[in-house]
Amino acid sequence: MEAEWDDAACEIARLPEELLSAAIARSSPRDACRAAAVSPAFRAAADSDAVWAAFIPRGLPPLADGELPPAPPHSKKELYLRLSDGPRLLPDKLMSIWLDRETGGKCYMISARALVIVWGDTPQYWRWIPLTDSRFAEGAELIDVCWLEIRGKIHTKMLSPNSTYTAYMVFKIADEFYGLDSPFQEASVSLGGRGSTKNVCVQSYDSDDEDGNDPVPENYWPMTMGPLLRRRARRRNRRPVPHDEAVTLPQKRADGWMELEMGEFFNEEGEDGDAHFSLTEIKRGNWKRGLIVQGIEIRLKKSG
């Protein structure tokens, strides 16, 4: 069998490089990298500009100044690897883009500043804080609200066609927090009249400190809450969140942030409109504090 494979590989290697490049360009970036390991003839074809130009999606938006090194890339493959190495800011610096390394699909993150946050510009409810561990300059920290509503959108023309995307809220929990575990929040994703809604919870762990004490000092509770509501909120804040299968919980990322899956959608060929995302908890009287929002990330759904 190995002899037959070697003979076949030798025969294929005799094909002109242009034909090999055309064939590899119809595969995927992952397959091109695998092909480059087969033989020197395959490597030359798989690393050619003709192949990697096909993997770089059309309609890439311009990047902010300084997001790519001043020296131009030596090849299309080098450019592709740079674009898939991590998020690159767009000119307004309110959104970032990168390519999915395996497929070349376009992925984005929308910053908190580009989202619609109800009461977001009212200092007694939200404040804007600098971020030192993000591509974005600032994030939104929840000070005290009983009406949590965060919404975002992205035009489908910016996304890769015929692709399934998943949206994630990217956030952290501040040192002082309360009211984020109950009642659960509601996340929704919609596009062109199709959508999904599900229960989620941004706080997925017991909020007590190591000694079992409530981490929230008395003076952090809103003055609008009476003594009875404060006692109820404190009891709720000390209760571990149940791992209910019907509630989606966040996961910790490699960069130290948390991400909460909001839902998924399919972007068809020729789709023209906006994909909408939201995270809400608007039952009056449920005061909340301590959510730090970096943004909403939209990336390709992984198969398998």
> What was the pLDDT predicted at 221?
42
> Is 45 inside any structural domain?
yes
- Is the bond leading into 183 cis (omega within 30 degrees of zero)? yes
> Is 9 inside any structural domain?
yes
> What was the pLDDT predicted at 32?
84
Look up the pTM and report it: 0.82
Q: Which of 50, 78, 106 is the last residue of a domain?
A: 78
Distance of alpha carbon 34 from alpha carbon 57, whole angstroms: 21
Inter-residue contact 114 to 152 (CB < 8 Å): yes
Task: Please state the domain count of the chain.
Answer: 2
> What was the pLDDT predicted at 97?
98
> What was the pLDDT predicted at 304?
58
| CATH code of the domain covering residue 217 | 2.60.120.260
> What was the pLDDT predicted at 13?
61
Indicate whether 208 and 281 sit together in one domain: yes
> What was the pLDDT predicted at 272?
79
Tell me which H or E stretch contains 24: helix 17-24
Model pLDDT for residues 126-155, shown as the tens digit of each residue: 999 999 999 999 999 999 999 999 999 999
- Joined tokens for residue 7: 């003979």
In which domain, by residue range, is 35 found? 2-59+68-78
Q: pLDDT tens string for the chain (304 positions)?
A: 444 445 445 555 666 677 777 778 887 888 888 877 777 777 888 888 888 999 999 889 999 999 988 877 789 999 999 999 999 999 999 999 999 999 999 999 999 999 999 999 999 999 999 999 999 999 999 999 999 999 999 999 999 999 999 999 999 999 999 999 888 999 999 998 889 999 999 987 544 444 444 444 444 444 444 444 444 444 444 445 555 568 999 999 999 999 999 999 999 976 679 999 999 999 877 899 999 999 999 999 987 5
- Joined tokens for residue 110: 């929308």
Distance of alpha carbon 203 from alpha carbon 281, whole angstroms: 13
- pLDDT averaged over every residue in the chain: 83
List, in sequence order, the alpha helices (H) in 221-267.
Answer: 227-237
Indicate whether 280 and 144 sit together in one domain: yes
Indicate whether 37 and 140 sit together in one domain: no
> What was the pLDDT predicted at 242?
55
- Joined tokens for residue 74: 């030596």
Indicate whether 281 and 242 sit together in one domain: yes
- Angstrom CA distances, 301 to 45, 54, 102, 168, 278, stand at 29, 21, 12, 11, 19
- Angstrom CA distances, 156 to 111, 113, 261, 302, stand at 17, 20, 19, 19
Indicate whether 146 and 9 sit together in one domain: no
> What was the pLDDT predicted at 12?
59
